Copies of this chain bind each other. A is one copy, B any other.
């Protein structure tokens, strides 16, 4: 049987499992109205309109009923009906959401597809659902499953529609796979930056400004250190940082095209009785900056970087943690180049990304090259050249990449970098995009070698992407134990008792003089409690000081990562961490 399950299609199995869930829900609440129940990454969900709010205790009851259904080996049988008959059936059974869907499908004039769960033996239908498939042959082919959580969801995702109850579940070929998945889920939950961010006193959220992170002092240190690191790299890599306004008259967005395509995503501001917007991205303002000086080919490449706070008016319901925000800072930059410089500049961007991902954070990552989409601006020649430049740079950089034909931006092809974190989850962060359109829209120019005016090409590139989002990834990747150079508290000093507070102060002073971020736990707790508290805060080093340490002028260094403890002088401690304090050298 298990063998059999491994052969069945995973998506079909999960979709079938969602039908089994719906059948179990109908058994529990005969008046339940069904909405939709698709399979998703790693599982499935089903949305219901129910007579009462579900409680966590309902899930085991539903699972129990589902297991019975699985054991019954109910057959999945497709049945086609004309639209009017289908509608009549659904309205009769009170399935108003399904009826609404049929009305939409009916426009195509096609027959409507149902799936019945037919009982082994009497051939009666135990359950029937409006559905286009695909399914396994019978419920017995459904592998080990688990219902995960209940949440609210608007019908069709629109907040003007009724709120439904969504049940999430997962389903796998084998018990081992299910267990591994549940374990990973538990680990991800433990590492959730929304939870860890609060526990580690990095961030808070507040309804007074939904989607904007409040960075507490410790979170601010991490954020500022990321920027400080990038600034150092900018000096090395000859980027020019600028500071730009946040509110712009609508005419800027008309030139850039955002007014037409992106207006609803921008926060509107009344400025001098005229329409203006908070900027959602830096590109248009950097086009203005480029134009503030005359340029010759000798001045290119010009690389303009910015840490401006960007605002995007995301739907309130879509906001969550630091990954889905309304206010964020992006480490984006715009490199203005001549056509001849594209390849070298792309190579330099790739080098920057690799340096940060490999050398600094040791992330694994995948690279994807996306080419001309169907709807694209610019000539075929421009696209050809740009795509060749990207491919050639990747080849020269000896970088394996996946081709994603037709997935480029409308203004040019791009290379995306997807990092894999310690839980093997993928995050799209860095991007390198070629753009022929924006420079033309803004009428950018440089004087070429020929003395004539030319239009530069722009390379949009981000390394970390949104700093807020990258910080969330780091928190989850490192389970909160950030690398030394990013740690808000690099060394926590733990006096064994109050008697040693003075010595602790002395140690703290010496470390501060070396720019080490320290905290002393001068509370009345026992050493054991102090150590446990410090571990909760995930400080890379604890320095325990007691009688022996005072006498020998040493500290007992406890390493968070290895849990090892070693007594040494402060000088030796400093020497030992020297290399980890600096980054990107």
- Distance in angstroms from A312 CB to nearest chain B CB is 12
Would A243 and B215 count as touching, CB distance under 8 A? yes
Would A249 and B311 count as touching, CB distance under 8 A? no
A316 interfacial by beta-carbon distance below 8 Å: yes
Would A246 and B212 count as touching, CB distance under 8 A? yes
Given contacts A267-B269, A271-B267, contact A288 B246 (CB under 8 A): no
Which of B217, B248, B270, B289 is in CB contact (< 8 Å) with A241?
B217
- Alpha-carbon distance A361/B540, docked complex (angstroms): 39
Given contacts A269-B267, A269-B268, A309-B309, contact A223 B210 (CB under 8 A): no
Would A243 and B220 count as touching, CB distance under 8 A? yes
- Alpha-carbon distance A327/B245, docked complex (angstroms): 7
A213 interfacial by beta-carbon distance below 8 Å: yes
A428 interfacial by beta-carbon distance below 8 Å: no
Q: Which of A51-59, A172-180, A201-209, A394-402 contacts B (4 or more CB under 8 A)?
A: A201-209
User: Considering the complex, which residues of chain A in the window 301-323 have a beta carbon less than 8 Å from any beta carbon of chain B?
Assistant: 304, 309, 311, 313, 316
A407 interfacial by beta-carbon distance below 8 Å: no
Residues of chain B contacted by A214 (CB below 8 angstroms): 242-245, 285, 288-289, 292
Would B210 and A272 count as touching, CB distance under 8 A? yes
A240 interfacial by beta-carbon distance below 8 Å: yes
- Alpha-carbon distance A581/B223, docked complex (angstroms): 26
Given contacts A213-B243, A242-B216, A247-B311, contact A208 B252 (CB under 8 A): yes
Given contacts A309-B309, A311-B247, contact A241 B216 (CB under 8 A): no
- Alpha-carbon distance A10/B245, docked complex (angstroms): 43
- Alpha-carbon distance A191/B370, docked complex (angstroms): 52
Residues of chain B contacted by A217 (CB below 8 angstroms): 240-242, 304
Find the residue from A223, A231, A247, A326 having the highest chain B CB count within 10 A. A247
Would A249 and B292 count as touching, CB distance under 8 A? no
Which of B207, B212, B221, B304 is in CB contact (< 8 Å) with A247?
B212
Residues of chain B contacted by A241 (CB below 8 angstroms): 217, 220-221, 224
Would A246 and B327 count as touching, CB distance under 8 A? yes
- Alpha-carbon distance A246/B204, docked complex (angstroms): 15
Would B268 and A270 count as touching, CB distance under 8 A? yes
- Distance in angstroms from A567 CB to nearest chain B CB is 29
Residues of chain B contacted by A246 (CB below 8 angstroms): 212, 246, 309, 311, 327
Find the residue from A215, A245, A246, A270 having the highest chain B CB count within 10 A. A245
A278 interfacial by beta-carbon distance below 8 Å: yes
Would A289 and B216 count as touching, CB distance under 8 A? yes
A184 interfacial by beta-carbon distance below 8 Å: no
Would B242 and A220 count as touching, CB distance under 8 A? yes
Residues of chain B contacted by A245 (CB below 8 angstroms): 208-209, 212-214, 327
Which of B208, B231, B247 is in CB contact (< 8 Å) with A209?
B247
A413 interfacial by beta-carbon distance below 8 Å: no
Which of B213, B247, B285 is in CB contact (< 8 Å) with A267?
B247
A197 interfacial by beta-carbon distance below 8 Å: no
- Distance in angstroms from A463 CB to nearest chain B CB is 19
- Alpha-carbon distance A568/B65, docked complex (angstroms): 89
Residues of chain B contacted by A209 (CB below 8 angstroms): 245, 247-249, 276
- Alpha-carbon distance A309/B306, docked complex (angstroms): 14
- Alpha-carbon distance A246/B246, docked complex (angstroms): 10
Residues of chain B contacted by A270 (CB below 8 angstroms): 267-268
Residues of chain B contacted by A271 (CB below 8 angstroms): 210, 267, 313
Which of B207, B210, B248 is in CB contact (< 8 Å) with A208?
B248
A408 interfacial by beta-carbon distance below 8 Å: no
Q: Which residue of B lies closest to A325 (CB)?
A: B245
- Alpha-carbon distance A201/B292, docked complex (angstroms): 10
A219 interfacial by beta-carbon distance below 8 Å: yes
- Alpha-carbon distance A304/B214, docked complex (angstroms): 13
- Alpha-carbon distance A242/B304, docked complex (angstroms): 26
Would A223 and B243 count as touching, CB distance under 8 A? yes
- Alpha-carbon distance A367/B247, docked complex (angstroms): 36
A341 interfacial by beta-carbon distance below 8 Å: no
Which of B220, B292, B311 is in CB contact (< 8 Å) with A204?
B292
21 cross-chain CB contacts under 8 A: A201-B293, A208-B245, A208-B251, A208-B252, A213-B243, A215-B244, A216-B242, A217-B242, A220-B241, A223-B243, A224-B231, A224-B241, A246-B246, A246-B309, A247-B278, A247-B326, A267-B269, A267-B271, A269-B269, A269-B278, A309-B309
Closest 6 CB pairs of A and B: A212-B245, A217-B240, A215-B243, A209-B245, A220-B241, A208-B249
